[in-house]
Amino acid sequence: MDRMAGRWIRIYIPILLFILITLFPFYWMTVTSFKSASELFDFNQSPLFVAAPTLEWYKILFFQTNFWHWTVNTIIVAVVSTSISLFCSILAGYALGRLRFRGADAIGWGIFITYLVPPTLLFLPLAFVIRDLHLFNNLWALILTYPTFLIPFCTWLLIGYFKGIPKELEESALVDGATRWQAMVRIAIPLALPGILSAGMFAFTLSWNEFLYSLIFMNDSLSKTIPVGVTTEFIKGDEFYWGVLMAAALLGSIPVALLYSFFVDYFVAGMTAGAVKG
Amino acid sequence: MGTATRRVSAAGVGRPLHMRLIEREAPMGYILLLPTLLVLGVFLAWPFIFGLWLSVSSAELADPGHFIGLGNYNFEFKIDRPFWTSFWNTFLYTGVTTVFKFTLGLSMALLLNQIFPLQRFVRAALLLPWIIPTVLSTLAWKWMFDPTFSVVNWVAAHLHLVAAPGPNWFGGTSTAMAALMIVNTWRGMPFYGIAFLAGLQTIPLDLYEAARVDGASRWQQFLHITLPLLRPVLLVVLLLSTILTFADFQVPFVLTNGAPYNSTHVLATWAYQWGVPGGAIGLGASISLVLFPVLSIIIAGVLVLLRRPE
């Protein structure tokens, strides 16, 4: 009995506190999105619950805004830029984790050093590059620029994964007459699949959540992504449309939340490989 | 590897020339790196160099501008008061949140490493703040800190933690900065927690058993086994998080955007303020470039720490 009480104090109560703090903003988003306009600003009753739930804000979101366009844009950008980044970083990760050649170390360092150049530092000059390519308000502007922060991360994670695959497996294939390329495609890459999956998850989430480039490059309402559309069109001057804002925030969060609830174990495994070996 | 390579090239003699070429490691290495180098070259290295030029030019939105030497830097260091405010805010914001994220993340990891029911659910739930679009969760926090309808204040008042209306979070500089730090800590803590957890799970359990046999207390085990073995993970996470926090744009932009009176800007939002609404791209570029030397020093420091054990 004493042991049980000890576990509550040492483990269960702290975990519950963590969960409470972590999840409260999401609870508040949900509650707000179902409150009527009058209830939103009525603190005489407890604001923590909804007295008369309404779908008012969701109706406005679906039928009177460009939310669907933003959702489709966000999906396209996230899927395509993730695919491009995975393609590049699988090849680069294999080359740097597996092959020995002059300059490999220097290039590996070079890719790592790109962490020093976050989007905050690049967005102004990049605006000129995007303008010269005539890509303003074009989803390609995002698809092409997101890999600059996705590739370094994925490559870094995959180098660790490829290093962890026993060399003998590939060598025996080479002895059996496979080309180096075949050994990579048929042996190393399939074995690195868990790493590729978690790199893909990272990349998808980062592109889904990206804000700055999208804010600068997408001014036309129909070409915005969810984070930018929501912050630029549901806030007019000092007026915040909290009902619509919270409904949109909730819906915009659900896809990535689902992704992680299914693959959280892969994610932790990917972190282990990347953080420990990388 | 050497013997295998030799064997392979011997086996490859009968093949067409281009196949033999591709089997030697160097050309293949360069070919595999080509797409990555191309993307990073065009959209990262070139804009960076171009940004260096912009920072010493008078460029504006529609005007390529001309060379003005260190004019932009002169203006921000000597005349532009909010620049210095945002400069120090950036350090304060990064420093304070890093300490909190580190300690809270480490405690979260130690908790999650215990055995308890619903483990998968708890892990996924605690990870949420980090994976959900920052801008969207920051909007929720902005509503939670609302000047008149703050649910944070409502709860705090009902728990008798503060007197009835509670602070006007965005009305004063220090409460607004505190709000920024709270949101950033809330958002960043799970990354520390899950990464540290991943590190903890690679520590062999028999080390702890051996220590227990020798009579080491829980605290001694933590100090002499957990911390040293976790060190590489701790440093890598610290490195990544410091960079990301130092260059953070989303939380400050959405939550306060400098309010009240440009007193809570950080370098990222101040560069945006001059560069985009202000139209002075050259000046904006020079403000964001200030991040570069500072980040370099931080990274160099962490790398030195990382290397020392070898």
State pLDDT tens for residues A33-87.
Answer: 999 888 888 877 888 888 888 999 999 999 999 999 999 999 999 999 999 999 9
pLDDT the model gives residue B7: 46
CA distance B37 to chain A (A): 9
Cα(first)–Cα(last) distance of chain B, in Å? Answer: 24
The least confident of A130-139, B10-19, B20-29, B157-166 is B10-19
Superfamily assignment of B86-307 in CATH? MetI-like (1.10.3720.10)
Q: What is the pLDDT of residues A241-256, one digit of tens each?
A: 899 999 999 999 999 9
Could you tell me which residues come within 8 angstroms of residue B182 by beta carbon, excluding any fewer than 6 positions away? B141
| Residue A124 scores a pLDDT above 90 | yes
Residue B17 pLDDT level (bands cut at 50, 70, 90): low
Q: Which of B36, B191, B236, B297 to mutate to test the interface with A (most CBs of A within 10 A)?
A: B36
**Can you tell me the mean pLDDT for A93-119?**
87
Q: Which residues of A touch B247 (CB under 8 A)?
A: 118-121
Cβ distance of A260 and B127 shorter than 8 Å: yes
Q: Is residue A79 located within the same domain as residue A188?
A: yes
* A112, B222, B223 from B230: Cα distances, Å: 21, 10, 11
Does residue A110 sit in the same domain as residue A239? yes
Would you call A13 exposed, middle or buried from its count of C-beta atoms within 10 A (0-12, 13-18, 19+)? Answer: exposed
Contacts with A102 (C-beta within 8 Å, 6 or more apart), sequence order? B26
Nearest CA in chain A to B186: A22
Q: What is the 3-state secondary structure (H, E, C) of chain B?
A: CHHHHHHHHHHHHHCCHHHHHHHCHHHHHHHHHHHHHHHHHHHHHHHHHHHHHHHCECCCCCCCCCECCCHHHHHHHHCCHHHHHHHHHHHHHHHHHHHHHHHHHHHHHHHHCCCCCCHHHHHHHHHHHHHCCHHHHHHHHHHHCCCCCCHHHHHHHHCCCCCCCCCCCCCCHHHHHHHHHHHHHHHHHHHHHHHHHHHHCCCCHHHHHHHHHCCCCHHHHHHHHHHHHHHHHHHHHHHHHHHHHHCCCHHHHHHCCCCCCCCCCCHHHHHHHHHCCCCCHHHHHHHHHCHHHHHHHHHHHHHHHHHCCC
Nearest CA in chain B to A246: B140
Distance CA A134, CA A144 (A): 13
pLDDT exceeds 70 at position B145: yes
pLDDT number for residue B14: 54
pLDDT value of residue B23: 54
d(CA A165, CA A192): 8
**Nearest residue in chain B measured CA to CA from A16:** B122
Residues forming a β-bridge with A235: A240
How many Cβ atoms from other residues are within 10 Å of residue A141's Cβ?
25
CB A216 within 8 A of CB A127: yes
> pLDDT over 70 for what percent of chain B?
91
| Residue to test with chain B: of A10, A107, A120, A262, most B Cβ within 10 A | A120
Q: How far is B117 from chain A (nearest CA, A)?
A: 10
- State whether A231 and B139 contact (CB < 8 Å): yes
pLDDT of residue B98: 95
The amino acid that residue A216 corresponds to is: I
Residues of B in contact with A23 (CB under 8 A): 125, 128
Mean pLDDT of chain A, nearest integer: 89
Q: Considering CB atoms only, which of A99, A152, A167 is closest to B29?
A: A99
The chain B residue lying nearest A86, using CA atoms, is: B36
Domain chopping of chain B, boundaries: 1-6+15-40, 86-307
Domain with A89 in it:
59-277
Residue A1, helix vs strand vs coil:
coil
Range B47-74 average pLDDT: 87
Average pLDDT over residues A86-109: 90
Q: Are residues A111 and A9 in the same domain?
A: no
Same domain, yes or no: A105 and A220: yes
Task: Give me the pLDDT at residue A100, please.
Answer: 83
Q: Is the pLDDT of residue B19 over 60?
A: no
pLDDT band for position B232 (cuts 50, 70, 90):
confident
- H/E/C letters for each residue in A21-49? HHHHHHHHHHHHHCCCHHHHCCCCCCCCC
Q: Do A144 and A202 lie in a common domain?
A: yes
Query: 3-state DSSP call for residue A179?
Result: coil
Owner of token pair 């109560």: A13
How far A54 CA sits from the closest chain B CA (Å)?
19
Q: Are residues A141 and A225 in the same domain?
A: yes
The model's confidence at residue A271, banded by pLDDT at 50, 70 and 90, is low
- Test B50 with A128 for CB contact under 8 angstroms: yes
CATH number at residue A112: 1.10.3720.10
Task: Tell me: do A66 and A196 sit in the same domain.
Answer: yes
pLDDT value at position B245? 93
Beta strands in A149-258 (DSSP E): 235-236, 239-240
**Mean pLDDT for chain B overall:** 86
Cβ contact A242–B143 (<8 Å): yes
pLDDT at position A262 over 90: no
Chain A residue numbers with beta carbons less than 8 Å from the beta carbon of B58 are: none
Q: How confident is the model at residue A276 (pLDDT cuts 50, 70, 90)?
A: very low
ipTM of the complex model: 0.91
Domains held by chain A: number: 2
pLDDT surpasses 90 at A8: no
Same domain, A118 and A255: yes
Q: Nearest CA to CA, how far is A125 from chain B (Å)?
A: 5
List, for residues B107-143, the tens digit of each pLDDT value: 999 998 888 888 888 888 898 999 999 999 999 999 9
The yes-or-no verdict on residue B237 having pLDDT over 70 is yes
Spatial separation of the C-alpha atoms in residues B38 and A85, rounded to whole Å: 12
pLDDT score recorded for residue A33? 94
The Cα–Cα gap between B276 and B60 comes to 9
DSSP classification of residue A236:
E
Given a cut of 70, whether residue B20 has pLDDT beyond it is no
**SS3 at position A211:** coil
Q: In B, which residues are within 8 Å of A117 by CB distance?
A: 44, 48, 292
Separation in Å, CA of B201 to nearest CA in chain A: 8
Which residue of chain B comes nearest to A28, CA vs CA?
Answer: B140
Q: How far apart are CA B165 and CA B3, in angstroms?
A: 76
Q: Is residue B12 over pLDDT 50?
A: no
Average pLDDT over residues A81-95: 96
Q: What is the pLDDT of residues A169-212, one digit of tens each?
A: 888 888 888 888 888 998 899 999 888 988 999 899 999 999 99
CA distance A142 to A127: 11
Reduced to 3 states (helix: H, G, I; strand: E, B; else coil), residue A235 is strand
> Cα B29 to the chain's mean position, in Å?
30
Q: Of the candidates A29, A47, A118, which has its C-beta nearest B247's C-beta?
A: A118
Which residue type, as a one-letter code, is found at position A145?
T
B297: Cβ–Cβ under 8 A, 6 or more apart, which residues? none
Which of A19, A120, A124, A265 to mutate against chain B (most B CBs within 10 Å)? A124
